[in-house]
Chains A and B, each alone.
Chain A
Amino acid sequence: MSSDPLAIETVGLGKCYRSTWGLRDCSIDVPEGSISALVGPNGAGKTTLLRLLMGLRRPTSGKARVLGRPPAQEEDFLASVGFLAQDIPLYRQLSAAEHLRIGAHLNRGWDAVAAEQRLAGLRIPLDRPVASLSGGQRAQVALSLALAKRPRVLLLDEPLAALDPLARREFLTSLADVTVDGDVTVMLSSHLVHDLERVCNHLILLTASRVRLCADIDDVLSDHRVLVGPRRSTAELEHLFNVVKATQTERQSRVLVRLDGPVLDPEWETSEVGLEDIILGYMSQDDTLAAGPLSLAGGVA
């Protein structure tokens, strides 16, 4: 995919809030047509990154380019990027139909028919105030509004957070449906790695305001292995590979590594590792991020 044109590109992107960095030295490439999972613990900078890409915040350092241009208050830019903010903000007293009418007035290329059909297909009442809809229905309304713009890039900030497992699945199915043609690039932030794995093909992992991984999920999976062997120092391994996480028990060493070559030492038993475990491995690197693994448990909650 690396030869594909880039939908989103950032170089050294940083955002400083008073004295702390919300996002630091973020350099990512997101290919066109990909569906990126933006994962990381709370406060890792996911929202900051998405808002920088939408132009709702200004970077302290570095550059961002979305569809080849810096985010700006220009109609062309706004028309090509769809955004769904955290907590799914809608005008509570207005109905879905009224939101669609508002959207039609605020956007040039507005696909009201498709949006109405989507919502009708999901049996979401168009004429009731959105405040009376369920969280899942509201999220679907907001997604329909974002899609009705016919954006080329769609940025979704924690759209699954408020949804129950069934609504989550429906939302992700909808998302997979609309992105099947590959003409929309989606970036979707969430804690719920498990859910994202089904629809996403690209991964961006943020911890402590920094990018840890930005790659195709297939590549991430093939690049990471768990090595298990008799207890010993990992210094030798660290020399060869990027050791993500080492766990020592009394008799055993268990090491998550990012490979850039074969493991030659026969003492190590090599096995494949799931995406969730890889992500957890990176998240638990920082002692300060003790809450990280817990926040991933949302898929079970």
Chain B
Amino acid sequence: MTYLIWRLHRVHAIVAAGVIVAIAGLIVPSGIAIANSYHHAVTNCSINHLGCGDIGGIVFGSNGVFTSLVQDLAMAIPLVFGILWGAPLVAGEFEAGTEDFAWTQGVTRRRWVLTNLGWAFLVAAAWGGALAVLFTWWRGPDNAIDGPVKFIYFDVQGIAPIAYTVFAMALGIAAGALFRRVVPAIMTTLVAFVAVRIVTALYFRPLFAVTKNVSALASTPPLSYSLGQDILGGSNTVACQTLKCQAAHGAYNHISYLPASSFWPLQGVESGIFLVLALALAFFTYWSVTTREA
């Protein structure tokens, strides 16, 4: 079974390995450059007391464009996995009619689907893990400057990329098992992956937000990700020109944010959600392959 899977997917495997090597080739020099300039900026600040207010500007002034580009790319890569590898896995067999070959050999469909799913999940997890390791290292200085919980920053590091990639793979395979056509499977994977990612990021993560009232002069804490702030309360603040004036009249800042400390709990919970979804999709695929007629 494993030989068949390797023989059918070795090109995918080689390309995926090539892509991760290429990403490493981009990320590692850039990461070293960022780490160096960060180190310089921090040293300059602590010894010469220069540029302490704008370490981020100093570090990313020269690396800025590259930073956002690579991160945005890394956000999309699990989806590519689901589309190019997951979606054709079952659907491609049906389009070529080769399920009639594969499913009439001496292995049961049950074993066929379980071995396929097992390897697909393993490869997706390993690949997502490699991506996560690279970006977690690469983001080190920026985590210290901007924090790790902002949208996009959060999504490319820690353990979440593993869960996203496994989920994308499971989604592609399940959509292929459902439609038995590659193109509808790809479209479904595309729409569903983006939708689930956006819904969890926009509606789920804020459940972990800290909401409180602080002095009108204060803001969200450093390294946190602000979800909103509002100057409220106070009396006769209409004439005020400054926050100081508003504060003096009793106004306060109503803030809502994801603290940096919520990074790991959020990573754990969100990874859990995506892995549970991936397992549910795998179960559907198992049911579809073993029960539906060929």
Residues of chain A whose beta carbon lies under 8 Å from any beta carbon of chain B:
51, 54, 56-58, 73-75, 78-79, 81-83, 85-87, 89-92, 94, 98, 101-103, 105-108, 142, 145, 149
Sample (30) of A-B pairs whose CB atoms are under 8 Å apart: A51-B293, A51-B294, A56-B104, A56-B293, A57-B293, A73-B108, A73-B110, A73-B290, A75-B107, A75-B108, A78-B106, A78-B107, A79-B106, A81-B104, A83-B100, A85-B104, A89-B101, A90-B98, A92-B96, A101-B7, A102-B7, A105-B3, A106-B1, A106-B4, A107-B105, A107-B106, A142-B101, A145-B101, A149-B105, A149-B106
| Contact indicator B100/A85 (Cβ below 8 Å) | yes
Q: Tell me which residues from 87 to 116 in chain B have a Cβ below 8 Å from any Cβ of chain A.
A: 96-110
| Contact indicator B3/A83 (Cβ below 8 Å) | no
| Contact indicator A75/B97 (Cβ below 8 Å) | no
Docked complex Cα distance between A107 and B293 (Å): 22
Asked if B8 is at the interface (CB within 8 A of a chain A CB), the reply is yes
In angstroms, how far is the closest chain A Cβ from the Cβ of B102?
8
| Contact indicator A91/B107 (Cβ below 8 Å) | no
With a cutoff of 8 Å between Cβ atoms, the chain B residues found around residue A56 in the complex are 100, 103-104, 293-294
Docked complex Cα distance between A83 and B99 (Å): 12
In angstroms, how far is the closest chain B Cβ from the Cβ of A297?
26
Contact partner of A87 among B8, B97, B103, CB < 8 A? B97
Docked complex Cα distance between A8 and B104 (Å): 17
| Contact indicator A78/B101 (Cβ below 8 Å) | no
Residues of chain B whose beta carbon lies under 8 Å from any beta carbon of chain A:
1-4, 7-8, 96-110, 290, 293-294
Docked complex Cα distance between A142 and B99 (Å): 14
**A105, closest chain B residue (CB):** B3
In angstroms, how far is the closest chain B Cβ from the Cβ of A238?
41
Docked complex Cα distance between A86 and B97 (Å): 9
In angstroms, how far is the closest chain A Cβ from the Cβ of B133?
33
In angstroms, how far is the closest chain B Cβ from the Cβ of A58?
6
| Contact indicator A101/B96 (Cβ below 8 Å) | no
**B103, closest chain A residue (CB):** A56
With a cutoff of 8 Å between Cβ atoms, the chain B residues found around residue A81 in the complex are 104
In angstroms, how far is the closest chain A Cβ from the Cβ of B129?
28
**With A56-B294, A75-B108, A79-B106 as given contacts, are A89 and B97 in contact (CB-CB < 8 Å)?**
yes
Q: Ordered nearest first, which 3 A-B pairs have the shortest CB separation?
A: A89-B97, A85-B100, A107-B106
With a cutoff of 8 Å between Cβ atoms, the chain B residues found around residue A107 in the complex are 105-106
With a cutoff of 8 Å between Cβ atoms, the chain B residues found around residue A85 in the complex are 97, 100-101, 104
Contact partner of B4 among A51, A83, A102, A108, CB < 8 A? A102
In angstroms, how far is the closest chain A Cβ from the Cβ of B105?
4
